[in-house]
Amino acid sequence: MLKYGIYMVLGGGVLAVMALNEAKQSSAGQDEPQEITCAELVDEGYGNNAHVRMTEFHLCEHEYVYEEKIQWTKAWVPAVPLGSSIHRTLAGQTDGGSAAPTLRGEQIKLIVLLPEARSERDVEEAAKREAIQGLMIRPLQMFDREQERLLEESYPGLNFEDCMLLVEGRRPASRTKTVTLTGIGLGLVVVGGFLSVSAIRKRRRA
């Protein structure tokens, strides 16, 4: 019983934290996305609506990083404004025959997370789109230390505080959903704590 109680406390705590983070991120987003260019995002931010439909961007498809667990689970792809000096430099390097132009970490101000990417082809298809819709997260937040380390190693010099993340396909969560998940998480913590305390008392009596 003690083991199950501990599992419930840990699981409930994780669920509650995730729900609170979801609520915090969704609070800045509206149901309808705002149409905004990549340059506007990089220069001015997303304003009062983190739910965006980004246009006029260049996805650096030679600079992406992917997470793999048996198969791909997601990919992170830096994005730069279309026609910007960085875009022209990268395009020139690619045209010159370089298969993988180097984008320095300090140059990256926006990363697009493709949660459904399962292969290089999915990244290439995303790079061909005219717009990408999703939820902005600023500053760049990685809730998994392994993922954070992966980005740090792949993009040396990346400033997490000065970079934004656009989660493709994500929409603001409803208040009902976040409140429900938070309640379930806290409920599991309470019940798991009760079971754990009860199990400890029984062992002491025995």
Instruction: Kindly report, residue by residue over 60-111, the tens digit of the pLDDT.
Output: 988 999 998 888 999 999 999 999 988 988 877 655 444 455 788 999 999 9
Mean pLDDT of 118-142: 91
Is the confidence at residue 36, as pLDDT, over 50? yes
Q: What is the DSSP letter of 206?
A: -
Domain residue spans in the chain?
1-25+173-206, 30-171
Is the confidence at residue 175, as pLDDT, over 80? no
Is the confidence at residue 179, as pLDDT, over 50? no
Taking alpha carbons only, the member of 167, 107, 123 closest to residue 142 is: 167
Contact 132, 126 (CB under 8 A): yes
What six digits make up the tokens of 151?
A: 């980005």
- pLDDT given at position 177: 46
Contact 15, 100 (CB under 8 A): no
**Residue given tokens 């997370």 in the structure block:** 113
Reported as a pLDDT band with limits 50, 70 and 90, residue 181 is: very low
Taking alpha carbons only, the member of 166, 154, 149 closest to residue 59 is: 166
More confident: 82 or 9 = 82
